[in-house]
């Protein structure tokens, strides 16, 4: 754990000091667009309007995965792990003043971005490729701005991937359960008829 903490500190300080100011402003703009999931809701609206049935399916999958990731990261993760944000003295720019006071672990922004993009990917790979760029920028911005440690971002990404996977497999599981629940009464009815 000591090595992880050292790497976290080093990478956080490097991201805050080495990224040029112009790139930092771009990252901040993307993060602002992603705040409260505005960017992903906008992407879902475009997919729905332009993508026909495939677009609607991708939008629904993306938003469902995003909701799950937000619930797990912000509703559960941040409540269970009360990790302070990186110290302000590590960050040599003013963006550090704009960060929230909530727990640093995990990154909810990253969880939402990765969940949306990964859930869209199997249904509409081209749209997911377009979403992958702002997703990567959001993840980088969370460290560069001093809002998160790299391990917070990595945990958020894992939560996002889990949300996308769950979103993809839950409909199949539900169909299987529903088919089974219909089959069991039919089997009982058939068995009762054959008995009498």
Helices 21-34 & 38-50, crossing angle to 10 degrees?
A: 70
Residues in the chain, how many?
A: 196
Q: Is the peptide bond before 106 cis (omega within 30 degrees of 0)?
A: yes
DSSP 8-state secondary structure symbol assigned to residue 88: G
With a pLDDT cut of 90, the percent of the chain lying above it is 56
Q: Which of 39, 175, 5 is nearest to 117 (CA)?
A: 39
Instruction: Read off the pLDDT band of 41 (50, 70, 90).
Output: very high
Question: Once rounded to an integer, what is the mean pLDDT over residues 39-52?
Answer: 96
Using left for φ > 0, alpha for ψ between -120 and 50, and beta otherwise, residue 57 falls in alpha
Residue 180 has pLDDT above 90, yes or no: no
Digit-coded pLDDT (tens) for 69-116? 999 999 999 999 999 998 888 877 777 777 778 899 999 999 999 999
pLDDT at 67 over 90: yes
pTM beyond 0.85: the answer is no
Q: Kindly tell me if the per-residue pLDDT of 53 is higher than 80.
A: yes
Cα separation, 115 vs 163, whole angstroms: 6
Calpha distance 188→22 (Å, rounded): 69
Report helix, strand or coil for 146.
coil
Residue ranges in the chain assigned as alpha helix (H): 2-18, 21-34, 38-50, 52-70, 78-80, 108-120, 125-144, 150-195
């Amino acid at each position: 754990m000591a090595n992880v903490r050292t790497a976290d500190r080093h990478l956080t300080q490097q991201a805050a000091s080495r990224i040029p100011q112009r790139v930092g402003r771009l990252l901040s703009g993307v993060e602002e667009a992603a705040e409260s999931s505005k960017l992903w809701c906008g992407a879902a609206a475009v997919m729905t309007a332009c993508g026909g049935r495939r677009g609607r399916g991708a939008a629904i999958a993306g938003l469902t995965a995003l909701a799950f990731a937000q619930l797990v990261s912000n509703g559960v993760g941040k409540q269970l792990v009360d990790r302070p944000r990186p110290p302000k003295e590590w960050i040599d720019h003013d963006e550090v003043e704009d960060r929230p006071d909530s727990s640093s672990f995990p990154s909810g922004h990253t969880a939402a971005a990765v969940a949306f993009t990964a859930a869209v990917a199997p249904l509409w790979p081209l749209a997911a490729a377009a979403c992958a760029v702002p997703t990567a920028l959001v993840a980088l911005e969370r460290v560069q701005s001093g809002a998160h440690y790299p391990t917070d971002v990595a945990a958020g990404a894992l939560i996002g991937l889990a949300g996308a996977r769950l979103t993809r497999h839950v409909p199949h599981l539900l169909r299987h359960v529903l088919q089974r629940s219909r089959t069991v009464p039919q089997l009982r009815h058939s068995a009762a008829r054959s008995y009498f």
